[in-house]
Amino acid sequence: MKILWIAAEAFPFAKAGGLGDVSNGLPKALKKAGFDVRVLIPKYDWINPDKHSLKLISKEASFRKSDSFSIWQGFLPKSDVPIYFLEASVFSGAGIYEGDEVKKFLFLSEAALLLPNIVGWDADVFHANDWHTATVPVFARASSMHSETIARKKFILTIHNMAFQGSIPLIEYERRGIDKSAIEKFADTADSVRALRLGIHFSDKVTTVSPTYAREIVETEWGFGLQQDLKSKGKNFVGILNGIDSEEWDPSTDPNLVANYSVNNMEGKSECKVALQQEAELPIDSSAFLIGLVARMTSQKGFDILIDSLPLLFEENIQMVVLGTGERDIEASLLKIQQEWEDKLGVFLKYDEGLSRKIYAGTDAFLIPSLFEPCGLTQMYAMRYGSVPIAHRVGGLADTVFEDKEKQTGFVFEEYSSEDLYSAVCRALERYLENPDSWIGLVKKIMQVDNSWESRVPYWKNLLHDLIQK
Ligand code: ADP
């Protein structure tokens, strides 16, 4: 089965968050399982063809006289998964989610359908991700590109975050040959329709990134108005948990760490803790309970309840290192607290892949207080690196972090409040201080939890086989 995976990002070429990692890990795992998967993303300016050994394989193709593009090809690292890069003027001069997103992503979605012909490969399945590429099936089934052959292809849409739905003026669809009569019944206002909503209706299968989130977005306000649309898909809407690339994320080989370690030899982890305390300019103190947090700084990630609970937490022997960028007011509040508690809090306001790994490795515990969380990858990276997750029980966090005795993988809080967050951290701290053997047992246990993509492949196989038989 031939599958074209289409997304706005793919690690290591372009990554802003989890979608980048998923666009690398899942295609690689499916390829290993025997599927012919290929990936398509835009060629952003900073993607350097020499650095990644990319080849220009097609120049100046176009789907309308003015919309020309070129295609570069490389491979996902350490794999034989081809990745194509769409080069066009719409993608130049801006970050992944900057500039004219409507223009950029409609261009990507439309061109995706032409790619197989251009590269001499016939995709059976087009796999779109989030609103950015949700219109791929709309172009195939309701536009001037429509042909019996293309309309008979299969289409999957994976929703990585329901909060972003891409409201687009109807006129922009029409300009690109999409038949207004086929989409206007999904319009929210007289002149705009959400790309994600169209994607849900025009795809054969819709998935999201964890079973709990799949329930939440049908049953609660986290569906952001598309609850009924998802419900109408019936069995063709499912939640499949994301995984991690456990070769790429491995503390026993990770070159970013000052010392490597594994379940059988944990010494290196203490060295990573010291190095992190140094880098964050915190007192070197092996007994301090060091907590990490790596996240985009948006209200989704729970910074409000974290900020409220910090002064109380810092009365204990707790240190914290936070890495992220985003909303200015969150950044400013954290910097303010840091000034007051400089021997307790390290704040890094940047995007830094290497530092993120030093944080997973150097911390004792890892906080994920998200208000909602479709899946979340950071709790799984934290587990792999032996940092015990403390999480709000929501979305994919509820499917991966458990506090129940036998299957414990971390500490969880039910209610989204600074009080509940504070008590979960205190429970973790108490275990760390009062029962070191049980703590290290937990650390070693979570390092061995199998969250690999390989463990998720059976679910994808079922879905893909079901899709092809439809
Ligand atoms: P989301 O997709 O909502 O951002 P996820 O938990 O699914 O959240 O994925 C976040 C990914 O982005 C993880 O790989 C995390 O390590 C990474 N990340 C987030 N912020 C930063 C940052 N400032 N520097 C480095 N990596 C980051």
Q: How many CA atoms lie within 13 A of 160 on its CB side?
A: 23
33-67 confidence digits (pLDDT tens): 999 999 999 999 999 999 999 999 998 788 877 78
With a cut of 90, say whether residue 405 has pLDDT above it.
Answer: no
Rounded to two decimals, the pTM is 0.96
- pLDDT given for residue 145 in this prediction: 77
| Ligand 1 centre distance from Cα of residue 61 (Å) | 34
How many whole angstroms from 378 Cα to the centroid of ligand 1?
A: 7
* Contact present, 227 and 214 (Cβ < 8 Å): no
pLDDT of residue 190: 82
Average pLDDT over residues 380-395: 98
Give strand ranges (E) for 13-67. 36-42, 55-62
C-alpha dist (Å) from residue 362 to 257, 338, 426: 9, 19, 20
pLDDT one-digit tens code per residue, 299-312: 999 999 999 999 99
Gyration radius (Cα) of the chain, Å:
23
Closest atom of ligand 1 relative to the 21 alpha carbon? 14
Q: What integer pLDDT is reported at residue 63 of this predicted model?
A: 80
Q: Which of 159, 303, 351, 355 to mutate to test the pocket of ligand 1 (most atoms within 8 A of CB)?
A: 351
Question: pLDDT (tens digit, 9 = 90+) per residue, 334-361?
Answer: 999 999 999 999 999 999 999 999 999 9
pLDDT tens-digit map of 260-300: 999 999 999 999 999 999 999 999 999 999 999 999 999 99
pLDDT for residue 319 is more than 80: yes
pLDDT over 90, % of the chain: 94
Instruction: Tell me what pLDDT residue 146 has.
Output: 77
Q: Is the CB of 352 under 6 A from ligand 1?
A: yes
**Rounded distance from Cα 138 to ligand 1 centre (Å):** 30
Cα separations in angstroms, 461 against 34, 37, 315, 344, 466 = 10, 13, 50, 47, 8
Looking at residue 60, its pLDDT comes to 78
What pLDDT score does 288 carry?
A: 98
Kindly state the average pLDDT of the residues 171-196: 95
Give the domain ranges of the chain.
2-245+454-469, 267-450
Ligand 1 binding pocket includes 21 (Cβ within 6 Å): yes
Biggest CA-to-CA distance, the chain: 71
Cα 20 to ligand 1 centre (Å):
9
Q: Is the pLDDT of residue 114 over 80?
A: yes
CATH of domain 267-450: 3.40.50.2000
Give the per-residue pLDDT at 256: 98
pLDDT at 34: 97
Same-fold call for 2-245+454-469 versus 267-450: yes
Ligand 1 mean position, distance from CA 356 (Å)? 8
Assess whether the C-beta atom of 4 lies below 6 angstroms from ligand 1: no
How many CA atoms does the CB half-sphere of 144 hold within 13 Å?
7
Q: Which two tokens stand for residue 249?
A: 């994320």
17 pocket-lining for ligand 1 (C-beta < 6 Å): yes
Is any atom of ligand 1 closer than 6 Å to the C-beta of 163? no
Average pLDDT, the chain: 96
What does CATH list as the number for 2-245+454-469? 3.40.50.2000
What pLDDT does 110 receive?
Answer: 95
Confirm or reject: Cβ of 12 under 6 Å from ligand 1: no
158 lines ligand 1 (CB under 6 A): no
Distance 216 CA to ligand 1 centre (A): 22
CB 8 within 8 A of CB 40: no
Q: pLDDT grade, residue 152 (50/70/90)?
A: confident
